[in-house]
Amino acid sequence: MNVQELERLAIASHDGELKECDYDSGELGDYEQFMGIRFADRIAQVRQHYPTEPIIVADLGCHTTMAASQMNGFEGVAAFGLDDSPCYNPSHGLPKSRVIRADLNDMKQIPDETFHYLLSFNCLSYTEVPKSFPEIFRVLKAGGIADLDLEFWLERNVPELRSLRMRDCLFMVGIHSGYRGNLEDYIKHLKELQQTGRSGVLNMDCRFTRFEMVKPTTKPA
């Protein structure tokens, strides 16, 4: 799916009618700071696999579309905001054709392998992880990256995350304090934190990287 096709899909998802608001939500810089990432670096990583085409990205759970608008300002990037109930702020400068109304638990209107890069901050806690994570993985292109933030409840999210079975995927987790590791090590880390008196909501950052699918351009001799 190219940019123009995705814009038509976006308009069809809300018929051009979006609830408008005049307030702001988190900026891209806030996402980067809290999650320990740099958007420009992520785009450079993805562009190694897709050097000649626009890099299609989305802010999942975009709310007022501010971060999506800021991502759209990067050269060679076509950014979309995606939310089941987007609150559209015209002052952010993101056209309505770049706002997709969709449920992260079931993005059936979006074809497989649509996006090169996906970003979500402070949103996925309100989804059903066994549904939303595989859906996010499904719409991510081969060689693409998804940076996802989750407010983390041990009693709920541990069983959900352990139930995930996503093939052809490198799944790393961590927190913005610098922890990086696999899921089981991270769960152990969180339980140790609880034993020292921390409990309740904890942050988790995770990153999907779809395995590269290199297709030869010519048949071998």
pLDDT (tens digit per residue) in 73-120: 999 999 999 999 888 888 788 899 999 999 999 999 999 999 999 999
Domains contained in the chain, number: 1
Lowest-confidence region among 83-87, 117-121, 136-140, 169-173:
169-173
On whether residue 50 sits in a domain, the answer given is yes
Give yes or no for a contact between 117 and 46, defined as CB atoms under 8 angstroms apart: yes
Domain membership of residue 63 (yes or no) is yes
For residue 22, give both structure tokens: 């005049």
pLDDT, position 34: 80
- Rounded to whole angstroms, how far apart are CA atoms 95 and 200? 39
End-to-end alpha carbon distance in the chain: 32
Mean local confidence (pLDDT), 1-11: 95
In the numeric block, the tokens 């991270």 are attached to: 186
pLDDT tier, 52 (very low <50, low <70, confident <90, very high otherwise): very high
Does 77 map to a domain?
Answer: yes
Give, for 5, the enclosing helix (H) or strand (E): helix 3-14
CATH number of residue 135's parent domain? 3.40.50
Is 40 in contact with 68 (CB distance < 8 Å)?
no
Least confident span in 80-84, 143-147, 195-199? 195-199
34 against 114, higher pLDDT: 114
For residues 7-21, average pLDDT: 89
- What pLDDT was estimated at residue 209? 64
Q: How far apart are CA 110 and CA 68, in angstroms?
A: 18
Q: Indicate whether this model's pTM tops 0.85.
A: no
Q: What mean pLDDT do residues 14-21 have?
A: 84
- Mean residue pLDDT of the chain comes to 80
On whether residue 143 sits in a domain, the answer given is yes
Residue 137 placed within a domain:
yes
- The range of the structural domain enclosing residue 38 comes to 3-210
Mean pLDDT for the stretch of residues 186-205: 65
In a domain, 221, yes or no: no
